Amino acid sequence: MATLDMTLGELRELLGEGELIGDSEFRCRELRGLQEAGPEDLSFVKSRKQLAAARASSAGALLVPERIGDLAAHQIVLDEPFLALTRVLARLASAKRAVDPGVHATAVVHETARIGAGVHVGAGAVIDQEAVVGNGATIHANAFVGPRCIVGEGCVIHPGVVLREDVILGARVVVRSGSVLGSEGYGFLPTEEKPVPIAQIGGVEVGDDVEIGALVTIDRATFGRTKIGEGTKIGDMVHVGHNCRIGKHVMLLPLTAISGSVKIGDGVIFAGRSGAADNLEIGAGARIGATSVVFKDVPADVEIWGSPARGKLEAMRIESLLGKLPELFRQVRSLVDRANSGQANVGEDNAASEPEAESEL
């Protein structure tokens, strides 16, 4: 349930844009989908494809991409209703998840740690030696902020997060439950006797406004820092290997796996369950399709698919042909059988003609 309890006038002021058609004093109680919304609820229309559903909806007010005629509901007309809706959702989420500043009695804060103003530290959380937590940050229950970590202003560290030593977070970073930043990467040198561990003594640096999903692992660098650029969004259960350099506003969707020492340019998108082998460079703006695995460098602004990943058109042609393989196989086998049969017939004809040739001689 998303309790709104705002008048349309207040909503229009929050959005900062749009033409209000109807009563500005109409009060929206809840935010709901088109089919579930009632006469006191606000809903939204993403695009023209939903106009019929909007006319059938019982919603009392709608965010719409254009004015809809013959509609009883109040309307706010916006260029991008769903984008505008994200601002409403952000406000609702902020209200639902607000916490009071202060350090819980069961939290452990090292005497050398520094805690800024307005910080919330939840039950059982640990702030270790020489760690710094910026103003207005939230450290939820049972989170661990390791030695010499820096948590920037306004960060939100959800329950059960582990920030190992020497992790630096910029401002307004969100790290969701179960994620581990700064663990040792998979560093082993194979020898004839046994694998030899390579100590990982570097750190992790995360830029401003990065969001990291649940159960994400970002490994520390061997030396130096694994870096995540500002504005990057990382989905659940993603792995980023040691020494990676992730650019700004990159999107790593759930289950993506990035091997060590990969450099990813600004604005790259890795779709779900995709991945990259180690020591590669992915050009800015490239898009890696779902389940695709990259084994070589990718130029900027291209879209690739498949495993191994190829250009999108080539991958689509190959995928199309795969469905035809059984029939192609039957045709090829038929041709081979006919060719073999023809060779056998030729052999029989030759054998039958040999005595005549000898008699003529």
- Domain CATH code at residue 230: 2.160.10.10
Domain membership of residue 186 (yes or no) is: yes
110 is known as an active-site residue:
no
Does one domain contain both 152 and 299? yes
pLDDT of residue 357: 43
pLDDT of residue 96: 85
Same-domain pairing of 161 and 28: no
In a 13 Å sphere around the CA of 333, the CA atoms on its Cβ side amount to 6
Structural domain boundaries enclosing 51: 3-96
pLDDT score of 130: 98
Please indicate, yes or no, if residue 355 is contained in any of the structural domains.
Answer: no
Describe the chain by its helix, strand, coil percentages, rounded to 5.
20, 30, 50
**Whether residue 56 sits in one domain with residue 187:** no
Within-domain flag for 166: yes
In a domain, residue 109? The reply is yes
CA gap 46, 259 in Å, rounded: 37
Could you give the CA distance from residue 33 to residue 44 in angstroms, rounded to a whole number?
7
What would the two tokens of residue 149 be? 């970590």
Mean pLDDT in order along the chain per 10 residues (361 residues): 86 92 94 93 90 91 90 92 91 88 98 98 98 98 98 98 98 98 92 94 97 98 96 98 98 98 98 96 97 94 85 75 83 87 63 47 29
Same domain, 43 and 175: no
For 168, 182, 194, 224, the CA distances from 202, given in Å and listed in that order, are 12, 8, 24, 5
What CA–CA distances, in Å, run from 188 to 114, 180, 184, 194, 204? 36, 20, 11, 9, 20
Q: How much is the pLDDT for 342?
A: 72
Contacts of 314 (CB under 8 A, 6+ apart): none
Tens-digit pLDDT profile for residues 294-338: 999 999 999 998 877 777 777 777 777 777 888 888 888 888 888
Whether 360 is in a domain gets the answer: no
Distances 112 to 127, 130, 156, 192, 254 between C-alpha atoms, Å: 10, 5, 22, 45, 37
How far is the CA of 111 from the CAs of 97, 118, 136, 327, in angstroms? 29, 18, 20, 73
pLDDT of residue 352: 53
Do residues 48 and 143 both lie within one domain? no
Torsion, CA 222, CA 224, CA 226, CA 232, rounded to 10: 180
- Pinpoint the alpha helices (H) of the chain: 8-15, 51-56, 81-96, 312-322, 325-360
Residue 150 and residue 157 in contact, taking contact as beta carbons nearer than 8 Å: no
Mind listing the pLDDT tens digit for each residue in 225-246? 999 999 999 999 999 999 999 9
Whether residue 228 is found in the same domain as residue 272: yes
**What is the spatial distance between Cα 20 and Cα 22, in angstroms, rounded to a whole number?**
6
- The one catalytic residue among 120, 140, 158, 242: 242
Q: How far apart are CA 167 and CA 221, in angstroms?
A: 11
Contacts 24+ apart (CB under 8 A), 340-348: none
**11 and 78 inside one domain:** yes
Whether 301 is covered by a domain: the verdict is: yes
* pLDDT at residue 351, as a whole number: 52
Which of 96, 115, 131 lies at the terminal end of a domain, its last residue?
96
How many domains does the chain fold into?
2
Is 192 within a domain?
yes
Rounded to whole angstroms, the Cα distance separating 173 from 112 reads: 23
